[in-house]
Every structure is written in C-alpha cells, then in structure tokens.
C-alpha cells in the first residue's frame, strides 16, 4: 500500500524516488490517484511529501491530486532549456530532471521508475549522472518499490476494483444475451441478414457496451473458439463464424476510468457441449471450487498452484510442473494479482523463489484451465477475489459459470 513506500525505500537503501514517462504508467497513476499527465514527474524524498511537476495545460487535473505541485512551464520551461543547451534535447531533458530533483531536495540514491523507451531512458540517465554528482539514479528489476507497494490494496482501491467487477459482469451478461438473441441454422449462429454471426461481430458489440459504461480496453480481450480456445492467449479469429458445440474461452479484462482492471473468464459452448469438453470443464470447475474453498490469509500462494497441478496430474493431464513447456494440458500458473496492471504480484506459481503468503489487501485472479488445441478445444474459469484490510474475502466476479449457453 502507499503507506509502505517509505519502508520499502529504506529496505533498499534508497533516499527517494523519481517517476517519469507520462500518465499511462502504473507508478504515475498510482501516486496521482489515477490521473493522466503528459511529460509529468513525480518525486518523493524518503519520509517526505510527494511532489508532482506538471504542465500548465494540466493544472486543473494536477490540483485534484492533492499533491504538492510545481509548474513545469514556469520553472523548467522547455523552450528556455533548449535555448540554453543550443537545441540539444538530451541535455535539455537531463537538465529538467536534475533541476527538478534539486528543487525538491533529492540527493543520494534515487530509485527511477515509470514508462520510457529503454534506450532513451539509458541515454537520459547517463546524461543526468554527468550533470550532477549529488544523485545516483538506481534501477530495480521485478521486485520493485512499486510492485511491492501495489501488491496490497487499501479499501479505496478495493472500491474501484469492486466497481470494475460489477461493470465487467454487466457487459459479459449483455454479450451472452446478444449471442442468444440470434437464431441458428446448420450448426451456425445467424444474423438477421442471414449471414453467420462472427467473432468480430461479438467483439464489436462487446466494445460498444463497455464504452457505454465508461470502461476501456488496453489489451483487447479474448474470445476464442474451438482450436483457438486451446491456446490460452489466442484472441480469436475475427472472421470465424460462431458454431454450436464448440468451446469458447471468453477472457475479459477491461479497466474503469481510474485505471483499475477487472479480469474474468468464462467458457461457453453454444447449444450443447461435447463429452470431452464437458469432462474438461467439470474437472476445471472442481479444482476451481477446491482452491476457492481453501483460500485464506497466511497460506503460501505456491500451495494453491501445487494443489492444482496435483489434481490435474491425477486426472492424467500434463501440467507446467510435470512437463515444463507443455502446450497441452494445464500449461500455466494458477493466477496473479490485478490492480493498475493486468498482471501484478502476487503470483500463484510453483516457480522457485515464490515464497509469497496471501495477505490482507491482495486482489487476485484464480484461473485453472485445460488446453487441447490438437483436439479442438480449451476451457478456463477465472474469477477475481480480494482480501480486504480486515482479511475478509470479497468476491469481485459475480457471474454464472454455466458451460452450455442455450440457443434458439
């Protein structure tokens, strides 16, 4: 949580932090309470207040953050910096960073975060280091201040995640109703004009509905049928007609305006389902229910992945543990955190070094699945759940699990 940032900085022997790269970055949105900025900086001295350097055109948005503010155009005017450095944009940008850090009193080891092109950031960091000896810019990999702070959510963040869950489930229900409103002919779902309803048609409808509710998609969504459903992140062939009796994996992960994600998956089979799809779905639902029944604060996340591998292997399936790199069977880990990124900590993985315990504030997905592209199907069930600050389980995905979707 945000109140952990000073502790996390101290544990890493960091004297402060600098976030750069614009408002789309999760670290920037985290510290500015979901606001979006172009070319802003967020700076924080360990133990001190958080400062936002912003452009004049975004001053109203900046005021709403409640942070200490510095006007970029007044104090670090880009035109003046370019004039001073004779058009050298690298030097001008480096001077902007160095002088902003100096203005808020940042010295020593400073953690660098945010979104930027890797090569550009490397050049910029080198130039800043040439300009000042008072600062050492430090990068982190994977287990960063922000990945750990953002791993647990406060009740305000949980409210945004609950909102995202309600709206996502509303859209999924409308998508199902849209499909069911069509007639069928010769094992195909048919539009009013007599042409087959396609995955592209369904995706267009889905996007229209989520925009109606003020949601957005940063990464699209998965609506994959038949063989494509057997490849976990196949987004689906837009031209493919919807067919009866084929598994459809519908993995939906939109955001609300504040940037927080929901993530849920349902597997459908229109009209009827084949015996092998029913068997795979029933096994997946059984282990899903077992895991959810045992979810508790203090349990290692690794345990739930091992439980899932044990179950699937006992049913004769390959798993990512028994057959690393397998393309069929249970091929991935059990789940992950969600928040301002679609994949956050914690990870429900059997990977070496995963010693994470379930904690109050965790918001996670649980998503067992079986994938057999060679046999023309895949199934997955995914819900998002949270443990609030009191350690109580809060269900964020509330939508029926039914495999077979009745058709006319």
pTM score over 0.85: yes
Query: DSSP code of 343?
Result: S
Give the Cα separation of 42 and 54 in Å (integer).
9
Give the Cα separation of 163 and 140 in Å (integer).
32
Query: Could you tell me which of 398, 369, 368, 365 has the C-alpha nearest to residue 168?
Result: 398
Give the model's pLDDT for residue 218: 87
- Matching CATH number, 155-405, of 1.10.630.10, 3.90.230.10, 3.40.50.11540, 1.10.510.10: 3.90.230.10
Give the Cα separation of 376 and 369 in Å (integer).
14
Give the model's pLDDT for residue 246: 98
- The parts of the chain modelled with pLDDT lower than 50 are none
Query: Could you tell me which of 88, 116, 90, 112 has the C-alpha nearest to residue 25?
Result: 116
Query: Could you tell me which of 327, 177, 340 has the C-alpha nearest to residue 253?
Result: 340
Query: Could you tell me which of 110, 140, 132, 131 has the C-alpha nearest to residue 45?
Result: 110
Give the model's pLDDT for residue 397: 98
**Paired strand residues for 222:** 251
Query: Could you tell me which of 228, 165, 237 has the C-alpha nearest to residue 382?
Result: 165
The total of other beta-carbon atoms located within 10 Å of residue 117's CB is 10
Give the model's pLDDT for residue 76: 96
Domain assignments of the chain as residue spans, ordered by start:
2-149, 155-405
Give the model's pLDDT for residue 22: 66
**Paired strand residues for 393:** 387
Topology of domain 2-149, per CATH?
Answer: Creatine Amidinohydrolase; Chain A, domain 1 (3.40.350)
């Amino acid at each position: 949580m945000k109140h952990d940032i000073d502790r996390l900085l101290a544990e890493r022997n960091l004297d402060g932090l600098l976030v750069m790269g614009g408002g789309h970055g999760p670290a920037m949105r985290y510290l500015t309470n979901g606001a979006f900025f172009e070319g802003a900086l967020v700076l924080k001295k360990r133990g001190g207040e958080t400062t936002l350097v912003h452009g004049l055109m975004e001053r109203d948005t900046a005021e709403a953050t409640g942070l200490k503010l510095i006007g970029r155009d007044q104090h670090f005017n880009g035109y003046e910096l370019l004039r001073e450095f004779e058009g050298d944009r690298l030097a001008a940008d480096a001077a902007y960073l160095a002088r902003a850090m100096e203005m808020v009193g940042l010295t020593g080891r400073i953690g660098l975060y945010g979104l930027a092109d890797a090569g550009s950031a490397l050049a910029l960091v080198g130039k800043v280091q040439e300009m000042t000896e008072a600062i050492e810019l430090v990068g982190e990999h994977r287990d960063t201040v922000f990945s750990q702070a953002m791993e647990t959510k406060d009740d305000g963040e949980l409210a945004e995640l609950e909102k995202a869950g309600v709206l996502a489930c509303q859209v999924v229900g409308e998508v199902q109703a849209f499909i069911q409103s069509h007639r069928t002919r010769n094992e195909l779902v048919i539009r009013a004009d007599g042409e087959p309803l396609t995955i592209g048609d369904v995706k267009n409808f889905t996007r229209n509905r989520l925009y109606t509710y003020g949601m957005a998609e940063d990464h699209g969504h998965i609506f994959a049928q038949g063989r494509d459903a057997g490849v976990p992140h196949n987004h689906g062939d837009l031209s493919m007609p919807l067919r009866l009796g084929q598994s459809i994996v519908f993995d939906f992960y939109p955001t609300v305006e504040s940037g927080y994600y929901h993530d849920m998956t349902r597997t459908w089979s229109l009209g009827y389902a084949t015996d092998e799809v029913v068997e795979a779905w029933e096994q997946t639902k059984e282990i899903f229910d077992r895991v959810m029944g045992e979810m508790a604060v203090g349990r290692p996340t690794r345990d739930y992945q091992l439980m899932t591998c044990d179950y699937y292997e006992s049913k004769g399936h390959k798993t990512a543990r028994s057959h690393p790199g397998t393309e069929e069977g249970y091929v991935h880990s059990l789940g992950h955190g969600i928040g301002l990124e679609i994949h956050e900590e914690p990870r429900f993985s059997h990977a070496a070094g995963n010693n994470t315990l379930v904690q109050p504030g965790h918001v996670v997905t649980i998503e067992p699945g079986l994938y057999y592209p060679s046999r023309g199907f895949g199934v997955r069930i995914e819900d998002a759940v949270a443990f609030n600050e009191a350690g109580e389980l809060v269900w964020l995905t509330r939508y029926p699990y039914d495999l077979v979707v009745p058709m006319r």
